[in-house]
Amino acid sequence: MRMTPPDSAGTTTIVPRVETRPDGATTWMRSFEPAMLLWLLLIAILAFLVLSPMLRLVFASFEDRVTGAFTLANYAEAYGRPRYVQALFNSLALGASVAVIATLFAVPIAWAISRTDMPAKGFIRMVVLGAFIMPPYLGAVAWMLLAGPNSGWLNRIWIGLTGAETGLFNIYSFTGLAFVIAVYSYPYIFVFTNAALDLVSSEMEDAANILGAGTWRTTLNITLPLVFPAILGGIIVVFLEAISLFGTPALLALPARFNVVTTQLWQFFEFPVKVETAAAYSMPLLFITIGLFGLQKLILARKGFVALTGKGGERRLIRLGPWRWVMFAYCMFIGALSVFGPVIVLAQAAFARAWGRGFSWANLTLRNFEYLLFEHDSARQSIVNSFTYAGATAFIAIGLALCIAYIVNRRLVPWGGVLAFMCMAPFVIPGIVLAIGFYAAYAPPPLALSGTATIMILAFATRFLPIAYANSAAGIRSINPEMEEAVRILGGGRLLAIRRVVAPLLKKSLVGGWILVFIPATRELSAAIFLAGPHNRVMSVLLYDLSEEGNFEVLSAFGGLLLVATLIVVAIGFRAIGRDFMLRGN
Amino acid sequence: MRRHLSALLLAMILLAPGVAVAQLSANEQKLYEGAKKEGEITWYSAHSAADVLELIGRGFEAKYPGLKVNVVRATAQVAFQRLSQDLKANSAQCDVFSSTDVGHYVYLKQNKLLAKYVPENARKIFPAYQNLDPDGFYHITSAGLVLITYNTAKVSAAEAPKKWTDLLDPKWRNQVSLGHPGFSGYVGTWAVLMKQLYGWDYFKKLEANKPQIGRSINDTVTMLNAGERSVAAGPAETTIRSAQKGNPLAVVYPEDGTLLMYAPSAIMANSKRPNGAKLFMEFLMGVEYSQIIVEQYGEPMRPEVKLPPELKPIDQIKTLRPTVDEIVNGVPEVKELWRDTFGV
């Protein structure tokens, strides 16, 4: 088992289950043991992290701002204008468009790396990892420079080559926005799909070949449908990411003259702040999440995906012949869109004294890096903070998710589906709203976590719990309970079974999950911006501050530092643990 | 490097035996003694970039050895939201509150959440900045200018717009860059001023030129530098700082008036460190503070400070400044109008 995607069996545990087995409760009572206390503790933690801030949000949406009395006025205000409702539809359209584009980016790359003899696979994995590490906000800034209608490099090249009057691309458009978000979220679909493809044996493809189907037909009719649950899982994550992102739409949608849910939400935080209206306005996001998981269940319900047993089966690479170079070119093209192009424009600014003057020797300098590394008050500290917090976040999220996934999957408590849903729900709560919930719940005494690293780590852990959970749930599902039962028959407790059987089997999957939480945690912006205190600013917040200051040379240099530092940390992580999930060769 | 050297220099001068003590007035001395017993003060501020605020905090600590200031930098709305949460939870975190939105102060004063204090230094700042609140609850401690900015590689000084109405000329079609009043208090106040001068029609005509709408007023600096747009309603400070590095930027003080944007500071009524907070307010209106600001191409509060050649003294510019009421009532209105006219 490597990075395990959510498979068909998993989807049933994500959705709240309404039917309970008649003997469920009694079985549960009979199997009571000391370890149950630990489970209860975990549930309490989940209540603390997810339920309490979320309930606060739901209650707030029905509260009068001044009196706190019950009211529906917030909903009337949140949906009382066509403009507000339009933003909601824009977000849905955006999410769907991003999902389509990201799928077109990710699935061919995943297929080529997993199933074919395409060259330079290790390098392509690196490129995908690079796209994943790039903060979407930074990528969007770079794309403004690449495809701005008047000044974008691509447009200037196009005008230079063809003598056309106007440029070819306009990044300030709905398509432009969907494209830029997709360029930095497709790695989610890649990871899920690639892992699933690695598990499909060649037998069924062979069968199709024997019956006369060619490579393409086999891929489209056999291979890809087999991993459809994994692709769908990735698509849902990307869809949710697209509708809850704030930075990129703020940069691109405003000049394009349209609003999405997150930029609209921002307006409710203008003075006088209408948290209650914002809460009411965020409710559809929660229903959309529930709806998506329902849809996923519906789509996958009546089909079997037995190839995902993880058992046996020979795997051979498909020989593509000359097409291997076509696939390679496609991967490099996606790499150019997500990494090479943006990094080049950012590098130009990062090494420039005055980036508005363009390329010239006189304009080259290392000054921006020197300033950030040796003179800036918080740049170095913010890098250290980011990695420490992201690391802690990943441990907490994975630890918690694993335990919950275990409880849910092994049906140790009734209503496991509700727990699973609670783990998935934070994904669609916009970061700023989640942060408000956290601040309201835990900044005042008795906890008094205001401005501490703890409140940031807890908020991050909550925000990325869904990713950790999707990963852990799939991992747990892949382990046959019989192995644990063997331990228990021989007299071992459940904790021993977990320590000696489950944990070692899950190791690789957990490392992958850890990285999947760690990276987004280093790029998280919207919650961090609200929770960061003076001594615990993180890289993303500093990046945002620099962009507000209009100091583009230093902003780009810092973006470069951020990318390099993250790459180094991730590489060290891989080396230390001995495994990785994206750089692994076959 | 320069700013650090100067901070160091400042610290050395101030730390020189006898000098610091000699400079303190009786009131200052009393506050200083009191503040030493209170511990670290906390300053929520949206007034400058984080590193400038840190410099200010250090300048304060250098002037008053033994005192510490905890700088919490946030944008105005985030800072206010935090403050509201603190107040709701009855936890007095913030001692001095510095927002760029005057509306915050009107609200806080109405709800008796501010402490009245008129610093000694309040009558030593430029007259244009004095007496914002006649009752003395909040005071201007930071100012900036909104003026016409342009890309010198694309537009010559002769061609550049000279007054705000020049931006309506069809020759600037697809060339104008703006911020957004929903994201920037500067842009909101600027829109209020334009509406006062020319009516909302100004923006309807401007829309015919298809301006590009960003967020922060500083986005205009990026757009001009990139060459995406060639003229803008932009900020003096950031534009001049970027031009100083060699970027192709220049500013025009419009004939029909430069917007003087001001941002107040106030002491919270629930502050547990009143001496430290008062001393900090004195500092924000003192010479050392203005010196730090000027080195970052900001507008000084005090006339004593020598300006770099790139900046024009405030009393030589035709500035316009809407009143507190005009801003508080006007900004929400122009935001709505803005969304109707520009669609976002």
- The whole-angstrom separation of Cα B197 and Cα A82 is 31
Instruction: Name the burial class of residue A316, with classes exposed (0-12), middle (13-18) and buried (19+) by CB atoms within 10 angstroms of its CB.
Output: exposed
Residue A585 lies in a domain: no
Average pLDDT over every residue of A460-484 = 81
Neighboring chain B residues of A357 at a CB cutoff of 8 Å: 246-248
Question: Mean pLDDT lowest for which of A80-94, A222-236, A294-308, B209-223?
Answer: A294-308
- List the single residue in A144, A273, A375 with the smallest CB-CB distance to B84: A273
pLDDT tens digit string along B17-74?
444 444 789 999 999 999 999 989 999 998 987 778 889 999 999 999 999 998 887 7
Say if CB B250 and CB B243 are below 8 A apart.
yes
Q: Which of A469, A65, A433, A470 is nearest to A285 (CA)?
A: A433
CB contact under 8 A, B103 and A534: no
Best probe of the B interface among A257, A372, A551, A554, by most B CBs < 10 A, is: A551
What mean pLDDT is reported for chain B?
A: 89
Question: Mean pLDDT lowest for which of A265-274, B13-22, B147-156, B231-240?
Answer: B13-22
Residue A86 lies in a domain: no
Average pLDDT over every residue of A449-474 = 86
Residue A72 lies in a domain: no
Please indicate if any CB of chain B lies within 8 Å of the CB of A34.
no
pLDDT tens digit string along A383-417?
899 999 999 999 999 989 988 888 887 777 777 77
Question: Which of the 8 DSSP states describes residue A255?
Answer: T
Confidence of residue B300 (pLDDT cuts 50, 70, 90): very high
Q: How many domains does chain A have?
A: 1
Say if CB B13 and CB B257 are below 8 A apart.
no
Please indicate if any CB of chain B lies within 8 Å of the CB of A378.
yes
A237-250 b/e (C-beta count within 10 Å ≥ 16 → b)? bbbbbbbbbbbbbb
CB contact under 8 A, A273 and B80: yes
Long-range interactions of B237-243: CB distance < 8 A, separation 24+ = B237/B144, B237/B145, B237/B296, B237/B297, B237/B298, B237/B299, B238/A549, B238/A550, B238/A551, B239/A550, B239/B149, B240/B297, B240/B310, B240/B311, B241/A551, B241/B296, B241/B297, B242/A354, B242/A356, B242/A550, B242/A551, B242/A552, B243/B310
Q: Over pLDDT 90: what percentage of chain A? A: 25
Best probe of the A interface among B40, B61, B71, B78, by most A CBs < 10 A, is: B78
Q: Tell me how crowded residue A166 is: count the other CB atoms within 10 A of its CB.
A: 11
Neighboring chain B residues of A529 at a CB cutoff of 8 Å: 74, 78
What mean pLDDT is reported for chain A?
A: 81
Q: How high is the pLDDT of residue A510?
A: 77
Q: How high is the pLDDT of residue B81?
A: 78
Q: How high is the pLDDT of residue A467?
A: 86
Question: Does CATH place domain B2-142+263-311 in 3.40.640.10?
Answer: no
CB contact under 8 A, A548 and B49: yes
pLDDT above 70 (res A19): no
pLDDT tens digit string along A218-270?
888 888 888 888 888 889 889 988 988 888 998 899 999 999 998 888 788 77
Domain containing residue A207: 8-59+94-304+322-577
Nearest chain B residue to A379 by CA: give it.
B51
Q: How high is the pLDDT of residue A17?
A: 39
**Of the segments A481-485, B37-41, B207-211, which one has the largest average pLDDT value?**
B207-211
Average pLDDT over every residue of A82-89 = 92
Neighboring chain B residues of A542 at a CB cutoff of 8 Å: 50
pLDDT above 90 (res A13): no
- Give the three-class secondary structure for B148: strand
Residue A84 lies in a domain: no
- The whole-angstrom separation of Cα B162 and Cα B253 is 8
Neighboring chain A residues of B90 at a CB cutoff of 8 Å: 444
pLDDT tens digit string along A273-289?
787 888 888 888 778 87
Nearest chain B residue to A170 by CA: give it.
B228
CB contact under 8 A, B85 and A443: yes
B106-117 b/e (C-beta count within 10 Å ≥ 16 → b)? bbbbeeebbbeb
Nearest chain B residue to A151 by CA: give it.
B228
* CA distance to partner chain B, nearest, from residue A283 (Å): 21
Say if CB B270 and CB B86 are below 8 A apart.
no
* CA distance to partner chain A, nearest, from residue B291 (Å): 19
Instruction: Name the burial class of residue B24, with classes exposed (0-12), middle (13-18) and buried (19+) by CB atoms within 10 angstroms of its CB.
Output: middle
Q: How high is the pLDDT of residue B216?
A: 85
CB contact under 8 A, A356 and B77: no
Give this complex's ipTM. Answer: 0.79
Nearest chain A residue to B175 by CA: give it.
A150
Residue A65 lies in a domain: no
Residue A343 lies in a domain: yes
pLDDT above 50 (res B333): yes
- The whole-angstrom separation of Cα B110 and Cα B256 is 35
Q: Which residue has the higher pLDDT, B184 or A174?
A: A174
CB contact under 8 A, A450 and B247: no
Residue A81 lies in a domain: no
pLDDT above 60 (res A8): no
> How far apart, in Å, are the Cα atoms of B251 and each of A201, B218, B243?
67, 14, 9
pLDDT tens digit string along A150-198?
888 899 889 888 888 888 899 999 999 999 999 999 998 998 888 788 8
pLDDT above 50 (res A139): yes
- The whole-angstrom separation of Cα B275 and Cα B28 is 9
Q: Tell me how crowded residue A21 is: count the other CB atoms within 10 A of its CB.
A: 12
Domain ranges of chain B: 2-142+263-311, 144-259+317-342
Portion 327-366 of A in contact with B at CB < 8 A:
353-357, 363
Confidence of residue A34 (pLDDT cuts 50, 70, 90): low
CB contact under 8 A, B101 and A271: yes
pLDDT above 50 (res B16): no
Question: Mean pLDDT lowest for which of A342-346, A564-568, B75-79?
Answer: B75-79
CB contact under 8 A, B216 and A550: yes
Residue A21 lies in a domain: yes
Fold: same for B2-142+263-311 and B144-259+317-342: yes
SS3 string, A495-543, reads: HHHHHHHHHHHHHHHHHHHHHHHHHHHHHCCCCHHHHCCCCCCCHHHHH
CATH code assigned at A187: 1.10.3720.10
Q: Which fold has domain B144-259+317-342?
A: D-Maltodextrin-Binding Protein; domain 2 (3.40.190)
Say if CB A178 and CB A95 are below 8 A apart.
no
Neighboring chain B residues of A356 at a CB cutoff of 8 Å: 151, 153, 224-227, 242, 247-249
Question: Which of the 8 DSSP states describes residue A336?
Answer: I
CB contact under 8 A, B247 and A356: yes
Question: Mean pLDDT lowest for which of A207-216, B192-201, B229-238?
Answer: A207-216
